[in-house]
Amino acid sequence: MAARPLVAGVLAVQGDVEEHARALERSGARVRLVKTVAALREVDALVVPGGESTTVIKLLDWFGLTEPIVERVRDGLPFWGTCMGMIVAAHDVADMEQKTLDLLDVTVRRNAFGRQVASAEVPLDIPALGAEQFPGVFIRAPWIERAGPAVEVLASYGGHGVFVRQGNVMGTAFHPELTADGRVHDYFVKMATAAQS
């Protein structure tokens, strides 16, 4: 009997929701937009897209999603935060008193690569994805200033981690959903599918 398709949730309160949904579908997942606890219960994995981190933390509280997300991820739900989503997942934010979900043992620095005008696409070496470089799209992006011992740094740029994984939790400082290269989404879908078995 064939395994059922992975149902990947995309947090749909702010950010590149549709772009992630399309990329996840291309990677073979079914997509469910998540705005409620009921929707969260129906997914096998969760992506938190880019946006504004302090606003999203408030919206998670408003929708009653903060504790349910933390509980599910700590119980093994695969989680991927991109840009703002990585900030939300981090243990803490450098030089700021900012609430986070504390799912990923890293310290991040907001807007580390500069303002919107400093946004850029740069080729990244990501051995876990193969030899071909990945087009990293950085938009007011964070970087990782500290990674705990259980955190695997999968890619760095400018001397700082920009793609990390800690067990079932993944973070990227860049925006793979804004490129035609589906390898990071493929990686996440494979990771989440493996967690089902």
pLDDT at 48 over 90: yes
**How much is the mean pLDDT over the chain?**
92
What percent of the chain clears pLDDT 70, i.e. is strictly above it?
A: 95
Higher-pLDDT residue of 96 and 89 is: 89
pLDDT at 140: 85
Q: Is 92 left (phi over 0), alpha (psi -120 to 50) or beta?
A: beta
Residue 47 has pLDDT above 80, yes or no: yes
| Catalytic residue status for 67 | no
Q: What is the pLDDT of residue 3?
A: 63
**Structure-block tokens of residue 61:** 């509280």
Q: What is the pLDDT of residue 50?
A: 84
For residue 128, is pLDDT > 90?
Answer: yes
Using an 8 Å Cβ cutoff, are 55 and 61 in contact? no
Q: Which of 19, 20, 160, 175 is catalytic?
A: 175
- Residue 78's pLDDT is 98
Active site residue 42: no
Asked if pLDDT for residue 143 goes beyond 60, the answer is: yes
Name the token pair of 38. Answer: 């009921």
The pLDDT tens digits of the residues spanning 33-44 come to 999 999 999 999
Nearest to 66 by CA among 99, 97, 43: 99
Domains of the chain: 7-196 (3.40.50.880)
Residue 116: the pLDDT is: 53
Q: Which of 19, 160, 177, 185 is catalytic?
A: 177
Of 19, 83, 160, 185, the active-site residue reads: 83
In whole angstroms, give the CA distance from residue 69 to residue 67. Answer: 5
